[in-house]
Structure 1
Amino acid sequence: MNKVLILGGTGRIGSSVAQDLIAHTDAEIIITGRNSANGTALGSQLGSQVKFLAIDLDEEDSLKNAIASSNLVIHCAGPFHYRDAKVLKSCIEQGVNYLDVSDHRSFTRKVLDCKPEAEAAGVTAIVNTGIFPGISNSMVREGVEQLDEAERIHLSYVVAGSGGAGVTVMRTTFLGLRREFESWINGKWEMVKPYSDREMIQFPAPYGRTGVYWFDMPETFTLPDTFPVKTVITKFGTVPDFYNYLTWSVAHWWPASWLRNSAVIEFLAHVSHRMTDFTDKLSGVGVAIRSEVTGSKDGQPASYCSTLVHKNTSVAAACGTGSLAQLMLDGKLNKPGVWVVEQALPTDLFEQTMESRGIQINRSWLKP
């Protein structure tokens, strides 16, 4: 029987991934965390397919032993701003396949550097596998494939309240405000200030026209590395809209030294989470993605747009990760090396796994 180890499996995202695997595979699932009481209770709640193992990622011997007894490791222990590539390196040493839900460029660069070692070991490792990045990358790939030549990618995301992901999504948001980042614009790298250049994007119901802002995502550099385009834009926003203004004020008015202080980030994350405990009841915890790829088809300007809406951000992220895990466990996705989703997942398999999970992606051609 396949055995899947989910690091950070007692968190919102990790436990959602476990539930996806329960629904779509017969694998034995080991969820890990540091709190034995909470982990054991969650394991019992999820059912007989799931067991709990207490692990601290700093305990390298315990971590290596757990990895060695697994067929697949799924790294859900964020925020990934603070993580290094040691989990992936241990998987490569043990010959175990790997997925993660990482969402920060510094971590992504660290794990991508392990590509030669993973390829030599025959290990398939896919990173950034949640909802955004993750499903969003596959939506872009599909758009690029529809065109004869792609020139511009515009990705927009909106999350309602906490997104159902607890305090982690708040940490990730504020950590993303720390410094300017490089973006691929008109064929060259330019520095962009986070949460700048508000743009109103038309998302499907229930979101409608919603404000989004520049945000540092791994897609900002992985997409131009994968596809020969001139521009890649990644923008993010939240609802209710007043959260956008609060985040904008932190990004533009607070001293940079404050945002580099981990205590300040924790304060902001927990205050925001307490606020969303109230507003989530009104806004929900859903997510929407809009991917627009512009270029040419049959010698004419063309734009291909795809959109996705899901009522729970954490569950949607688990669908992205769980679908890849299912394909790897079934032997349908075997690509030794370290890859981002748009490089590893063929569009036909992406469409099949999304359909099996009831995720509807709407597609349309836009008038030039």
Structure 2
Amino acid sequence: MTQRVLILGGKGRIGRQVAADLATHTNAEITITGRSQQVKQIPASGSHVQFLELDLDDRDKLTAAIHALQTDDRQQRHVVVHCAGPFHHRDGRVLEACIAAGVNYVDVSDHPSYTRTAIAYRAAAEATGITAIVNTGIFPGISNSMVRQSIEQLDSADTVHLSYVVAGSGGAGVTVMRTTFLGLQRPFQAWLKGQWQMVKPYSDREVIEFPNPYGRVGVYWFDVPEAFTIPSAFPVKTVITKFGTVPDFYNFLTWSVARWWHPRLLRTRAVIEFLSYVSHFMTDVTDRFSGIGVAIRVEVTGQKDGKPAKSYVTLVHENTAIAAGYGTGSVVQLLLSGELNKPGVWAIEEALPTTLFEQTMQSRGVKIEQCIRQDSH
């Protein structure tokens, strides 16, 4: 039997990149879904790709589409990939249907509220024997695996400082813009010095040295699932998650919205839509100059051979959306091959061993730089 993958929200820019990655690296039969028949060409070949018109609000059709992946052959590992963001207000209906059908699940979710919703199904997924992995894109996703990679270079870890920078739109659609502004709605909890503390989104600007071509870029606190999944996965005392954009004036625009706009406005759908479309229009112009790439920098402070040490891991890619497709596609590839099998619901850094992460990134030409600096005294 041919292995099958159902990509919900496959019409979007991230969903299309996931499909492209799977078409390149697997022989799976791929079905992408969207709310209308109009769909742009998948930028890859090598696998059968078809389209299914599907609205996630149509629970009966959603359930039927997922149950159609059922098989009595336990060697067949079909997968549902949830790319239908933004995830701020999504419920667990897709994961519920996957558990009921006995089908593996992967998503590109990027908001803590949804991550907590998904993880609550851990026992049910484990009982059914399915592997469900959340937060598998670029950040969260590849970034989380880089944290695990960095922590494993040390004997013990105390502090994780995780920074991201995206150029312009990152090659993603308006949904990513919505995600950014939805993330400004309210303060969130951060794990600092062994306790949870409230921080304001897009506050506490810090200038970080990223690899070329980005150099020094200002980054700000941002509410991402890593803020709580990393301290859950690893015995660290502090996790700092900061995000920035280039050109830098986008940072100041976002900071001003977070700092000066009334919170009630940021909880109004019309306002979020206005900000998202205006921002997307602006990046359509500046992308020609800034590019659409991404850089991730992980700094972990701890101990190595009985001495204080810092572990650094960095990544740069010229297209953020393509990199997100690599992150999710590689996880699906490993599930289809049977190399990754961990029943339950897991954040990516809990489920994906570093050896497999490095193997799949290398096969996609993704270069990750690592180094350790020790205190010589």
TM score, norm. by length of structure 2 = 0.95
Q: Residues 309-364 of structure 1: CA distance to partner in whole angstroms, max 9, x if unpaired?
A: 00000000010000000000001001100000110000000000000000000011
Question: What does 1:1-368 align with in structure 2 at a 5 Å threshold?
Answer: 1-36=2-37, 38-39=38-39, 42=41, 49-70=48-69, 71-368=78-375
Retained in 2: the 8 A contact 1:43–1:51? Answer: no
Shift in Å, 1:111: 0.3
Which structure shows the bigger proportion of residues in helix conformation?
1
**2-side partners of 1:316 and 1:44: how far apart?**
14
Q: Residues 141-198 of structure 1: CA distance to partner in whole angstroms, max 9, x if unpaired?
A: 0111111110000000000000000111111110000000000000110000000000
Retained in 2: the 8 A contact 1:293–1:304? Answer: yes
Q: Which runs of 5+ in 2 are unaligned?
A: 70-77
Superposed CA RMSD in Å reads 1.2
**2-side partners of 1:168 and 1:58: how far apart?**
18
**2-side partners of 1:61 and 1:358: how far apart?**
40
Structure-2 change in CA distance of 1:33 and 1:205 (3 Å): same
**1-side partners of 2:189 and 2:368: how far apart?**
29
Structure-2 change in CA distance of 1:48 and 1:99 (3 Å): closer
**2-side partners of 1:78 and 1:238: how far apart?**
21
**1-side partners of 2:234 and 2:155: how far apart?**
12
Identity %: 66
Retained in 1: the 8 A contact 2:24–2:47? Answer: no
Q: Residues 241-271 of structure 1: CA distance to partner in whole angstroms, max 9, x if unpaired?
A: 0000000000000001000101100000000
Shift in Å, 1:42: 3.2
Retained in 2: the 8 A contact 1:79–1:172? Answer: yes
Retained in 1: the 8 A contact 2:30–2:47? Answer: no
Residue type at the aligned position of 1:108: T
Structure-2 change in CA distance of 1:35 and 1:46 (3 Å): farther
Shift in Å, 1:365: 1.5
Give secondary structure in 2 for the equivalent of 1:163: coil
Residue type at the aligned position of 1:248: W
Residue type at the aligned position of 1:91: C
Shift in Å, 1:366: 2.9
Residue type at the aligned position of 1:344: A
Shift in Å, 1:44: 10
